[in-house]
Amino acid sequence: MATEAIGSFYLMKCGTVLSIIAVLLAYWYRAPGQDVHLDGRLDAVLSSLLRAERKVGIGSFARPRVAVGFGGCVDIVVDGVSLLDKAGVLPSDRPLHHDFIEDSEQLAQSFAYFFPPGAASERFVVNSTLFGKLVEASRGVPGNRWSVGGNALVMAGRMATEGCDVLLGVSANPDLANVLSGHVTVAGNRVEEPDIHLVLEYPSGAKWGRYTSRRANRYIIHSDKHNPYLASMGDFEQKIRGFQPDLLIIGGLQMMDSFPFKKGEREALLRRLSQLLSSTSQDTGVHFEMASFVDGLLLVELMERVVAHADSLGMNEQELPNLLSHLRDGNVTVLSDPSPRVATVLDQMRELYRLVNERRGKSPSSRSLTRLHVHTLAFQAIIVAHGSQWKNTMSATAKASLTANRHVCGSPDINPSKAKLILDESFSVSRREGSQRIMLQETRPVSCWDEDDYELCVAPVLVCTEVHQTAGGGDNISAAGLVLQI
Ligand SMILES: *[C@@H]1O[C@H](CO)[C@@H](O)[C@H](O)[C@H]1NC(C)=O
Ligand SMILES: *[C@@H]1O[C@H](CO)[C@@H](O)[C@H](O)[C@H]1NC(C)=O
Ligand SMILES: *[C@@H]1O[C@H](CO)[C@@H](O)[C@H](O)[C@H]1NC(C)=O
């Protein structure tokens, strides 16, 4: 026992020293002329990704039909630090996680918790007076922008842009409905006042009091009145039968998180959604776009009522450990490394894929999970089961990666001078000792390989360096990945 412990201690120390040497060597090796070398590499990676994206067409015979639920809102996008200054919310010395926000002190603590690591977050503000004041303050922040947003709405927009006919479940007022593409049909009751989401964006290196953000991201607050009730579900349910979609996407359910429902209300809504999903034709693929959840009980219900009926899941680097820790340990991780290594993410994906499918084995009514897409700042990774209906995984991973840059830079044309590669020149496929390393090839940047009963593809992201907007990125990226796979 003792020798073993000493042995592993020695190995550990040795490993640390070795990796320090490796880091130093890498630095020394790459420092001179690094930019020249990287620029050439960037151009090659970009043209190869574009080639991979163009390799497959969308809906060569008819436009694919996609139904997307639920919700939509008006996004007010502002510089987060300017808004807090304007609203008189001072930096808090106590970074703290709150499930929901009751007053400006909690807002300051919560922002101080997510801003330094640069982790995406979304919180419900219970106090509508406070929320109203923040919305008012946002109007005076220079550069504030209004746009339509919300997971389902963004995904619907992207699908329509990519050539699909879309049925969108959203409670909308005519203004909201009017800005949607002609290929989007709205299913849902009419509302006078749309829900508003305040999107506090911040660039990498932003300062707030003594805090500095490590990467660009956003902190979203809302005080939704319609979205948590999935108010469009009834109409959506009726129209979906006639619509006969190839794909049904569910997202936006985090609006139910920490919302003050009356007893039993949330359960009833999710039961109804579960019925909708389980009665969906097997010819229709079902995708669930995860979000960050803090309410463990809601996660339990989501697993049973929604995830169990999905063939495909999409999520970011925060949501992956969030769901995984829930499945494995029964607890909720609210903050994880915002820039994880490829090996770490792939291990988490394998485990999630296995755990979800194991649980399904026990329940005959559920589908098997055959697709898992994880989007991170530095790379995209997609698992697709062999023999499943999902096509073109390599091209889909490339498209997801390109969409990340297009969205964040706010332009369909990718400018290499506003992009950088942050993925290393090679990555390990697992944290297990002796795992294979894969070199990033500039002319074939998407690496795909087979494991067990699935294929895994990883593509580097050309990370946008002049951030226009991060919010809605995950939805655009997930939708772009899906559109080539149906
Ligand atoms: C709600 O917010 C307002 C405005 O910031 C504040 O004056 C009030 O105390 C808050 N109410 C509660 C219950 O925290
Ligand atoms: C969750 O539980 C596991 C096992 O009990 C523990 O190792 C982990 O630290 C916990 N995570 C959180 C976020 O509480
Ligand atoms: C992401 O989706 C929104 C809503 O559909 C759209 O306005 C925005 O332009 C999209 N981003 C990209 C890169 O297409």
Ligand 1 centroid to residue 311 C-alpha, Å: 44
Q: Give the span between the Cα atoms of 81 and 202, in whole angstroms.
A: 7
Interhelix angle 151-161/473-483, rounded to 10 degrees, is: 40
43: number of Cβ within 10 Å: 13
430 CA → ligand 2 middle, Å: 22
Residue 176: pLDDT band by 50, 70, 90 thresholds? confident
Q: Domain residues of the chain, as ranges?
A: 37-56+311-486
pLDDT of residue 255: 92
- The average pLDDT across 258-278 equals 95
Distance of alpha carbon 159 from the chain centroid:
16
Based on its alpha-carbon atoms, the radius of gyration of the chain, rounded to whole angstroms, reads 22
Asked whether the predicted pLDDT for residue 222 surpasses 90, the reply is yes
CB atoms within 10 A of CB 449: 11
Q: Which residue has the tokens 């803090």?
A: 294
The mean pLDDT value for 51-68 works out to: 86
C-alpha span between 392 and 384 (Å, rounded): 10
Nearest CA to ligand 3 atom 4: 154
pLDDT of residue 66: 98
Tokens of 321: 């450990």
Task: Name the percent of the chain lying above pLDDT 70.
Answer: 90
pLDDT, position 59? 59
Distance of CA 365 to the CA centre of its chain: 27
pLDDT of residue 170: 93
Nearest C-alpha neighbor of 97 from the set 107, 89, 83, 86: 107
Position 347 scores a pLDDT of: 98
pLDDT in tens, 304-331: 999 999 999 999 999 999 999 999 999 9
Atom of ligand 2 minimally distant from the CA of 333? 13
> 220 forms bridges with which residues in the sheet?
122, 199
Q: Which of 164, 180, 476 to mutate to test the pocket of ligand 3 (most atoms within 8 A of CB)?
A: 476
pTM: 0.87
Q: What is the pLDDT of residues 185-198, one digit of tens each?
A: 999 988 888 899 99
Helix (H, G, I), strand (E, B) or coil at 90: coil
> Whose alpha carbon is nearest atom 2 of ligand 1?
130
Give the pLDDT score at 39.
Answer: 65
Question: Which stretches of 338-411 are DSSP H helices?
Answer: 342-361, 393-409
Nearest-atom number in ligand 3 for the CA of 476 is 1
Query: What does the alpha-carbon distance between residue 33 and residue 458 come to, in Å, rounded to a whole number?
Result: 27
Q: With 50 as the cut, is the pLDDT of residue 10 above it?
A: no
The number of helix segments (H) and strand segments (E) in the chain equals 14, 22
> Could you tell me the maximum CA-CA distance found in the chain, to the nearest angstrom?
73
